[in-house]
A and B are shown apart, each in its own frame.
Chain A
Amino acid sequence: MATGRIVKVAGPLVVAEGLTDAKMYEVVRVGKERLVGEVIVLDGDLASIQVYEETAGLGPGDPVEGTGEPLSVELGPGIISSIYDGIQRPLEAIQARWGAYIRRGVEAAALDRTKKWGFTPKVKKGDAVSAGDILGIVQETTLVEHRIMVPPGLAGTIEEIRAGEFTVEETIGILKDAQGKRHELKMMQRWPVRRARPYTEKLPSTELLTTGQRIVDTLFPLAKGGTACVPGPFGSGKTVIQHQLAKWADAQVIVFVGCGERGNEMTDVLMEFPELEDPKTGEPLMKRTVLIANTSNMPVAAREASVYTGITIAEYFRDMGYSVALMADSTSRWAEAMREISGRLEEMPGEEGYPAYLGSRIADFYARAGRVICLGSPRREGSLSAIGAVSPPGGDLSEPVTQNTLRLVKVFWGLDANLAYRRHFPAINWLTSYSLYNDDLIPYFEKHVGAEWNLLREEFMRLLQIEAELEEIVRLVGVEALSPSDRLKLEVARSIREDYLMQSAFDDVDTYSSLSKQLKMMQLIWRFYELGQRAIEQGVAIQKIIELPVRERIAKAKFIPENQFEQSFREIDRQIQGEFESLLAGGAYAARVH
């Protein structure tokens, strides 16, 4: 491999000459410390390289060496529960070797080379296999069975397959291809991060990704394999909602990419997830989670790569037939990293200085989500749901990253500073947000929760719309000018907002609501509304209805644990009926009161 020489250093960008056989996106080693870089422009004899580490100390004349390989990730047992930097260096191993600060030039393999994994074959000698076929399994964690697959591009017959304890580099079998060439099979494969991993066929997304977040599941649901974005100004709750999804979404594998955000937020996940239990299995959530961390003070070029590193790992688990959810917090930092590199390359800037290819990069990223029939046998379905936070400057959604994202994703959870200011969380604006999966998921809800879900959902949306219109009137003439029926609508809409949509991520009980709890909570609110309207028709004073003691119980229903909910729900429901009955019986009629 030819060795080149640096001619220019400008921040994360290095230009080298003499790298005669360099390829685009090839990984190179820069300087005496052999920093990792990637060729991003080739122009005559000059190669522009983005360097994934601090470039201080590099200068003209320093060597640059090609590796012949594109930027790739290592895929195999040992990924789950790890925390990696943007180019898949394991941060735990780095701390063990180099201490608390990330030095330049540190090197550590993504997958531990010494750890042995128990491998159980699922094929036998003589089997014909092709790319994606499951060769065998490794119980990687209590939650994830790692399925070792024939790497894309390979096919033939199994000449040998072994059971037992192996490291990721040891040979677990031999495959003979059609040309008679023998290939050693290992548990580890590599894949270039900028290339989507292949699958057999894409399928429509018709299954709910249950999140346990009421406003999400009820009003703006996400389908497995779907795409969503969460734009919002600082402090509006982007990170918390993504953490909530990482905790409670019913995906089998979670990949969380901390892209250019706070160090403490990654630490938070690292410390909290091992303590939290998966609601289904009771196992620690960390056992299905992979973290990619390039915090805001880490090198900017690696931030650009981190999103690709994350989605490639996510695709790999999708290929095993799992439902995978990836969260990227925040895609704006990724776009800004692109902008910074593009600026250093002196490319022609597009809107707000972003490169002209911003839109296509964002599109390529979200296109890697989806529900698919995986490559290989046995036949299996996998899904990759992608959720990206967007951090628009000044909270203004007209900026390029938000706009390009909105063109692609199907769910928009718009966060609203005003809701956040009044501590209404999740601060998802119910009037502007949308989910394009709503219609596709109607049959799903009908089958798994009941037809009433879809009806109540529509009624809730309708009341919230009406509320917005009524609020306009109230602002002009005051609340006393409304009819009793409209006042009840306002009250119930408020109850929907405060008692149902508001959900504290930090309350042990409220943090997660099952679909059946969600349905029952909706039923309680709706029961109150219907009986209320009926009482008004019979002349009961609105004030009496507003003051019914049961409203406090409805409001606090969210704090009732799942295992007690069934019973409490029946009690509250009975109390609603009872209180309305005594209102009518007690003669609390408007006419008599006035």
Chain B
Amino acid sequence: MQREYTSIAEISGPIMVVEGVSGVTFEELVEIELSGGEIRRGRVLEINRDRAVVQLFEAAQGLNLRQSRVRFLGKVMELGVSEDMLGRVFDGAGRPIDGGPPIIPEKRLPISGEPLNPYSRDYPNEFIQTGISVIDGLNTLVRGQKLPIFSGSGLPHNKLAAQVARQAKVLGTGEEFAVVFGAMGITFEEANFFITDLRKTGALERSVMFINLADDPVIERITTPRLVLTCAEYLAFERDLHVLVILTDITNYAEALREVSAARKEIPGRRGYPGYMYTDLSTIYERAGRIKGKKGSITQMPILTMPQDDKTHPIPDLTGYITEGQLFLSRELHRKGIYPPFDVLPCLSRLKDKGIGPGKTREDHAGVLNQLYAAYARGIDVREMAAILGEAALSKTDRLYWKFADEFERRFIQQGEYEDRTIIQTLTIGWELLSMLPRGELKRVRDEFIEKYLPKRAEEPVVA
């Protein structure tokens, strides 16, 4: 059967139509040889009788209707994997860019992955201490979770992700994470920041990086996260490593997806993003987790910048519907000079409940976190009300809450970029803050824990 054609009928953006083909199958990998011998790749998006619609993985530049030769390879796109990938840097299409030798693959794996049987999953419940109070104390990360950072342009999400990568550990095991890092459309400076940071701490040896920069082909970004996850799955489930996957910036990925959809003239969904974006994103995010009987795990921390800081934008919205919680960053706190500038209220870790408590963190953890949340929420309400009505209109208790909110931001949320707090330190700060409130207000914590952990004071707090 003929597998090579020169019958490209149409190229439009990232989409190419080839006619007169036979034996072509859906999702098949395609190679296009330019007249100069250069190879580009793509995959079959649709096949209708003898007409194949191909999505290019790389830029269309230089493609030519008559001279470019199209080969259908009879297989889906694969990544050659090996443990030697650790310590290496690749481009967004999987080619080494660190000057090192080519990888001799131990095996080749299809990059789209296969859905994990829910029956085979093991529920994530091992506490990861990141040393960051808002995460450990309030929105606990567990091994095998997917917990994204919802940020905005100019906010320090990269610093935060790097701090997590540097400090993350499972208590008591001392096991370190291998980091698989995927950059999609970020700047050279941002990418360089990660590489430098990982090198400085010696973590580069246990890292793999796939980097598509802002000036690299947009369309490559659709493949990048899949390469990252294929590599991560190999390291986690065949090489027993605990892998932390950082993907940045998902917004650039989604835009590439929109570009392909628009080129195919599909009916657009919200804000021009394709209707299947939920399913598409889930095929990335759902590749986190643990598998029964396997030692390794994949924990994902995707980063996305919300266009106009709008959390109802389809990218954060669909992400939030798939991931197991989210960490929001706040422009307001950032302006106040607070690092890490977490917008605490909408942050959530859905898996925290099974990762905390006696034997994991401490018995009082759940109560403390609920109480801190409730108190901070009320403190913010009061602060807003005071801005309108003035302090005089506040009740005594309200004033305590106001002070609580300020102190909470200053002492609990704020910490150093290199400050690695233990969970006990985090809970201690929490109790100190709670001791600012009348005891009767602490309804979310059990009495026995109040007796045991609340710092003793001579008398009930009052506001001067």
Contacts and interface: CB of A to CB of B under 8 A. Distances in A.
A binds B: yes
A272 B389 CA distance: 49
A394 interface: yes
Interface in B326-379: 326, 345-346, 348, 350-351, 353, 366, 370, 373-374, 377-378
A371 interface: no
Contacts of B326: 234-235
Contacts of A235: 320, 325-326, 346, 348, 350
A56 interface: yes
A117 interface: no
Contact of B119 (A95, A340, A421, A424): A95
Contacts of B182: none
B47 A60 contact: yes
Contacts of B351: 264
A99 B23 CA distance: 31
B5 interface: no
Count class of interface residues, chain B:
35 or more
B178 to A, nearest CB: 20
Interface in B96-125: 112-124
B282 interface: yes
Contact of A475 (B123, B312, B374, B385): B385
A270 B322 contact: no
Interface string A88-111: 000110110001111100000000
Given A56-B76, A339-B275, A423 B114 contact: no
B25 interface: yes
A340 B45 CA distance: 15
B204 to A, nearest CB: 30
A270 B118 contact: yes
B118 A297 contact: no
Contacts of B296: none
B283 interface: yes
Contact of B314 (A102, A266, A333, A393): A393
Contacts of B45: 10
A552 interface: yes
A263 B286 contact: yes
Interface in A1-40: 7-11, 15
A462 interface: no
Contacts of A56: 25-28, 76, 112
A336 B118 contact: no
Contacts of A295: 115, 118, 282, 286
Interface string A258-284: 101011101110110000000000000
B2 interface: no
B26 A263 contact: no
B46 A83 contact: no
B395 interface: yes
B117 A234 contact: no
Contacts of B447: 556
A478 B377 CA distance: 18
A297 B120 contact: no
Interface in A324-353: 333, 336, 339-340, 343, 349, 352-353
A423 B47 contact: no
A451 interface: no
Nearest to B26: A9
Nearest to A547: B440
B118 A58 contact: no
A555 interface: yes
Contacts of B322: 262, 296
B446 A421 contact: no
Contacts of B26: 9-11, 55-59
Nearest to A552: B440
B25 A57 contact: yes
B116 A100 contact: yes
A506 B120 CA distance: 24
B276 A300 contact: yes
A504 B352 CA distance: 14
A17 B390 CA distance: 76
A95 B292 CA distance: 11
A263 B267 contact: no
A9 B346 CA distance: 42
B287 to A, nearest CB: 8
Contacts of B237: 100
A549 B378 CA distance: 22
A58 B399 CA distance: 67
A59 B278 CA distance: 26
B388 interface: yes
A478 B389 contact: yes
Interface in A537-565: 547, 549, 551-552, 555-556, 559
A480 interface: yes
Given A56-B76, A264-B124, A393 B266 contact: no
A13 B317 CA distance: 27
B270 interface: yes
B443 interface: yes
B315 to A, nearest CB: 11
B95 interface: no
Given A60-B49, A556-B447, A480 B393 contact: yes
Contacts of B121: 263-264, 266-267
A262, A475, A477: residue with the most chain B Cβ atoms closer than 10 Å = A262
Contacts of B440: 547, 549, 551-552
Contacts of B49: 7-8, 60
Given A8-B49, A270-B118, A393-B317, A353 B393 contact: no
B346 A391 contact: no
Interface string B277-291: 011001100110101
A300 B276 CA distance: 9
Interface in B257-273: 266-270
A422 B373 contact: yes
Nearest to B388: A475
Interface in B41-83: 45-50, 76
A417 interface: yes
Given A296-B322, A394-B312, A479-B395, A421 B317 contact: no
Interface string A477-502: 11111000000000000000011000
B30 interface: no
A295 B443 CA distance: 37
B363 to A, nearest CB: 13
Nearest to B353: A506
A353 B261 CA distance: 14
A556 to B, nearest CB: 7
A421 B345 contact: yes
A159 B94 CA distance: 70
Contacts of A271: 123
11 contacts: A10-B26, A56-B26, A233-B320, A234-B317, A234-B321, A263-B289, A264-B289, A267-B121, A271-B123, A480-B393, A556-B446
- 10 closest Cβ pairs, A-B complex: A478-B393, A394-B312, A296-B282, A56-B27, A422-B377, A59-B25, A234-B320, A100-B120, A266-B118, A421-B345
Given A264-B144, A297-B279, 6 more contacts: A235-B325, A297-B115, A333-B278, A394-B317, A478-B392, A556-B446
